[in-house]
Chain A
């Protein structure tokens, strides 16, 4: 009885994980520009992955799922940050970006072109 209930929970979590992974990928197709598309994989997929990891932890009962979670939380923001910095540096019009506080420059923004 308890075994069946556990199986049901594991199955539900796996399905949820699959759905969120699919939504994340679907977002890549649906959203309009590169900045918006950055949101889809870093977000929806996080919960999808989390659901799969919890399912794995229930089924296998290993502590290594905690490690995977930790590494995802450490690396996913870095990937997103570097993609975003690249976009800011070379692909987005500086006038579309609001200025930083205290008149500072954004770190990745190209230097303002000198007036001739």
Chain B
């Protein structure tokens, strides 16, 4: 019954919370509208989610978000240092191939977004077979280390979150 009304509970929750934040006012009318949107939009867009990813550990996702926010701040300072103080000729930029082993397109999207948001690296492209990402690193003296860090720090966690 509940699964029929909310075929995609996390999407419904996100939409509802998003609407409440947009109106920025706790009123019964807004709550009703949030509920209508939370029910209607997942049903209308169901055709675009043929295989919904299964969140095995939703709490781990919160931890992941915290980790990414922390990394964004820490590595922003690193990039600022490179921009300000490193002679341009010494900046060793490189393209790096990262083989990926994630179960769903949603998890890959999340990993690609994480790589872009954490300063110093940028997702450039995905392989046609979806098994590797092409990333660009602003300063990569050791390309293997960057690849290993992405795999162990982010991909391993995402693998645990999406089974």
Contacts and interface: CB of A to CB of B under 8 A. Distances in A.
- For chain B, what secondary structure do more than half of its interface residues adopt (helix, strand, loop), or is it mixed? mixed
Given A23-B83, A67-B21, A88-B125, 14 more contacts: A23-B84, A31-B83, A33-B93, A42-B116, A44-B79, A67-B18, A81-B123, A97-B134, A98-B96, A100-B131, A100-B132, A100-B134, A105-B127, A106-B128
B112 interface: yes
B24 interface: yes
A98 B83 contact: no
A-B complex: 4 closest residue pairs judged by Cβ atoms: A43-B119, A100-B127, A77-B116, A47-B76
A73 B113 contact: yes
Contact of B131 (A62, A96, A102): A102
A104 interface: yes
B122 A80 contact: yes
B117 A26 contact: no
A43 B76 contact: yes
Interface of A: 20, 23, 26-27, 30-33, 35-36, 38-40, 42-44, 46-47, 50, 62-64, 66-67, 70, 73-74, 76-77, 80-81, 84-85, 87-88, 96-102, 104-109
Contacts of A99: 97
A51 to B, nearest CB: 9
B151 to A, nearest CB: 12
Interface of B: 18, 21-22, 24, 72-73, 75-77, 79-80, 83-84, 88, 91, 93, 95-97, 99, 112-113, 116-117, 119-120, 122-129, 131-132, 134, 136, 138
A67 B128 CA distance: 33
A76 B125 contact: no
A33 to B, nearest CB: 8
A105 B128 contact: yes
Contact of B125 (A42, A67, A73, A84): A84
B128 A104 contact: yes
B148 to A, nearest CB: 15
Contact of A30 (B22, B88, B122): B88
Given A35-B136, A67-B21, A109 B125 contact: yes
Contacts of A98: 95-97, 134
Contact of B127 (A46, A63, A101): A101
Nearest to B121: A39
B125 A107 contact: yes
B102 to A, nearest CB: 13
B126 to A, nearest CB: 5
A40 B86 CA distance: 14
